[in-house]
A and B are shown apart, each in its own frame.
Chain A
Amino acid sequence: MDVIGEAWTWLTTGSHWSGESGITHRLGEHLYLTGVCLLISCAVALPVAFWLGHGGGRRLGGALAINISNAGRAIPTFAVLVLLTLSPLGRHGELPTILALVLFAIPPLLTNAYVGVSEADRGVVEAARGMGMSRRQVLARVELPLAFPLIMTGVRTAAVQIVATATLAALAGGGGLGRVITAGFARYHTEQVVAGAVVVALLALAVEGLLVLAQRLFDPNRRRPRPGDAAPPRPTHHPTQLPTRPSTQPRPDGRRLP
């Protein structure tokens, strides 16, 4: 197809990378927004999820974990972005964008971390209590390491979500790589639209790939327990495959493929 060649030409033209609306600057904006929002949403969601999952409010936590994800799915991101932009908050530069990104990143973080902590192997947790660990020690040294894969799944999902939502922010007047696409639409430059989309898609895939890698590298369950280490024994099954009672929504064997 002709358009692929044209998009490639557009991408390899140096002038499209420099300047205020160049790819480099837009990519910087995008990465900055993603990083800031991921940090804020982790700071908000993870402590709440740990507290709920650790026993602070299991009943409340279970209901919240299910419903917040479902609600997040039903609410259109685009509508929230536009509503926030038109609200009084819209006068404060990037604030509506940041708020929307954080709002949509919280559900996956909260749900995954809550499930991870609350469904950490009860036998191991009991054993840790029996050894005389305090509640804080149980959380920090047993439940969190066991929940690590699910927590990281939440972080990864949230990060991809933020990258995607930040793209949409361009439609509502925000910055970021989406601006390359919207500018292309405004000028009927299909090659620019496609080129921008390729960069955005690659960014999303790169973020996903990097976080999968980080999850593999830092997973405490993979480390061999040293003698004298209080770390829990490696679980015999992956926490995402805990045997649970038959549910109407059985889950796939291989949850996430590389």
Chain B
Amino acid sequence: MSAATAESCLTANEWICGEYVSSRAEELTDATVEHVLITVTAVAIAVLVALPLALLARRWRFAAGGILGLTTVLYTVPTLAMYALLLPVFGISMSVVICGLVLYSLTILVRNMLTGLQSVPEEAREAAVGLGYGRGRMLFAIELPLALPALMAGIRIATVSAVSLTTVGAIVGYGGLGNLIYSGMHSYFKAQVLTASALCVALAVLADVALLTVQRLITPWTRAGGAKRRGPVPRDSVLDVPGTV
């Protein structure tokens, strides 16, 4: 990395450097785009995989034990080890990072979907049966909409975690902003490390706010009792799922 530009804060290697942001705007944009691409792809695939798994787990008790147990074990594997274990499967590629993130997101998503599906009131189901709804229609018209709040909560947590875990992908060269953090560490480039880290946190917060807005828009009925926000700490996903491994 050549810090050839004779600008003051770049040569002084300061933590905060506007000159860095303006001169490397393109590099930063590319890294951010890669970061978003990896995160969005991983969460999207995870949602598509988690739904059938959650349905299977709901159908058969033994499947529930197996699926939840396996995803929990996967969640325990540290990120660096996960990417390392996937290396021989995909070679050095973006798929390593995406696949790792999908596996982590599955734990959160399957649990939350299952909870959401189980929280559908029995009366709603019976009413649908009475109206002559079949299995498929019941799922898509009754159960999934009612399970949406839990599902969206899961997607939010999975997305925020994925944004942060993507950085570790730098080990295979596909870490989005993590690449900048990693190379900045080797060249002792403080502005690059701090800027990339700050962007990463901003991305996570932005994604969370955006998803929360979507959640509010598609589940207007949950806003009915707006004042009951000071409830107990929601237990499902906050408690024993480690934050960013």
Please encode chain A, from 52 to 80, with 1 for each CB lying within 8 Å of some chain B CB and 0 for all others: 00000000001001100110111111111
B167 touching A119, Cβ below 8 Å: no
A residues 208-258 with Cβ under 8 Å of B?
208, 240, 244-245, 247-258
Write out the residue numbers on chain B whose beta carbons fall within 8 Å of the beta carbon of A79: 167, 178, 181, 193, 196-197, 200-201
A77-B245, A160-B242 known; A194-B236 Cβ under 8 A: no
A66, A74, A75, A83: the one within 8 Å of B194 (CB): A83
A74 touching B201, Cβ below 8 Å: yes
B231 touching A108, Cβ below 8 Å: no
Complex alpha-carbon distance, A1 and B87, angstroms? 12
A247 touching B234, Cβ below 8 Å: yes
A157 touching B68, Cβ below 8 Å: no
Complex alpha-carbon distance, A69 and B205, angstroms? 13
Complex alpha-carbon distance, A82 and B218, angstroms? 39
Number of residues of chain B lying within 8 A (CB) of chain A:
70
B82, B163, B181: the one within 8 Å of A74 (CB): B163
B116, B235, B240, B243: the one within 8 Å of A72 (CB): B243
- Interface status of A23 (Cβ within 8 A of chain B): no
- Interface status of A181 (Cβ within 8 A of chain B): yes
A248 touching B222, Cβ below 8 Å: yes
A104, A201, A251, A258: the one within 8 Å of B77 (CB): A201
B170 touching A78, Cβ below 8 Å: yes
Complex alpha-carbon distance, A194 and B78, angstroms? 13
- Interface status of A178 (Cβ within 8 A of chain B): yes
A156, A165, A190, A200: the one within 8 Å of B240 (CB): A156
Write out the residue numbers on chain B whose beta carbons fall within 8 Å of the beta carbon of A112: 239-240
- Greatest chain B CB density within 10 A among A80, A193, A247 is at A247
Write out the residue numbers on chain B whose beta carbons fall within 8 Å of the beta carbon of A77: 164, 244-245
Write out the residue numbers on chain B whose beta carbons fall within 8 Å of the beta carbon of A167: 78-81
Task: Name the distance in Å between A115's Cβ and chain B's nearest Cβ.
Answer: 5
A255-B240, A257-B65 known; A182-B233 Cβ under 8 A: no
A200 touching B197, Cβ below 8 Å: no
A77-B164, A248-B153, A258-B69 known; A181-B84 Cβ under 8 A: yes
Please encode chain B, from 53 to 83, with 1 for each CB lying within 8 Å of some chain A CB and 0 for all others: 0000000000001001100110011111110
Write out the residue numbers on chain B whose beta carbons fall within 8 Å of the beta carbon of A205: 73, 76-77
Write out the residue numbers on chain B whose beta carbons fall within 8 Å of the beta carbon of A255: 235, 239-240
Complex alpha-carbon distance, A254 and B190, angstroms? 46
Complex alpha-carbon distance, A180 and B208, angstroms? 35
A256 touching B240, Cβ below 8 Å: yes
- Interface status of A168 (Cβ within 8 A of chain B): yes
A247 touching B170, Cβ below 8 Å: no
Tally of A-B residue pairs with Cβ under 8 A? 231
Closest A residue by C-beta to B225: A246
A85-B185, A197-B85, A244-B231 known; A76-B171 Cβ under 8 A: no
A119, A154, A168, A249: the one within 8 Å of B80 (CB): A168
Write out the residue numbers on chain A whose beta carbons fall within 8 Å of the beta carbon of B65: 257
Write out the residue numbers on chain A whose beta carbons fall within 8 Å of the beta carbon of B185: 82, 85-86, 172-173
Residue contacts A-B, CB under 8 angstroms, 6 given:
A1-B88, A74-B208, A190-B87, A194-B85, A194-B88, A255-B240
18 additional A-B residue pairs with CB within 8 Å, beyond A73-B244, A167-B78:
A74-B163, A76-B201, A108-B240, A154-B239, A158-B242, A160-B76, A161-B243, A164-B79, A167-B81, A197-B82, A204-B81, A240-B235, A244-B232, A249-B112, A249-B237, A250-B236, A252-B118, A255-B239
Contacts from B to A (Cβ < 8 Å): 65, 68-69, 72-73, 76-82, 84-85, 87-88, 111-112, 114-116, 118-119, 149-150, 153, 157, 160-161, 163-165, 167-168, 170-171, 178, 181-182, 184-185, 188, 190, 193-194, 196-197, 200-201, 204-205, 208, 222, 228, 230-245
Contacts from A to B (Cβ < 8 Å): 1, 3, 62, 65-66, 69-70, 72-80, 82-83, 85-86, 104, 107-108, 111-112, 114-115, 119, 150, 153-154, 156-158, 160-161, 163-165, 167-168, 170-173, 178, 181-182, 184-185, 190, 193-194, 196-198, 200-201, 204-205, 208, 240, 244-245, 247-258
Q: What 3 A-B pairs are tightest by C-beta distance, nearest first?
A: A164-B78, A251-B236, A197-B84
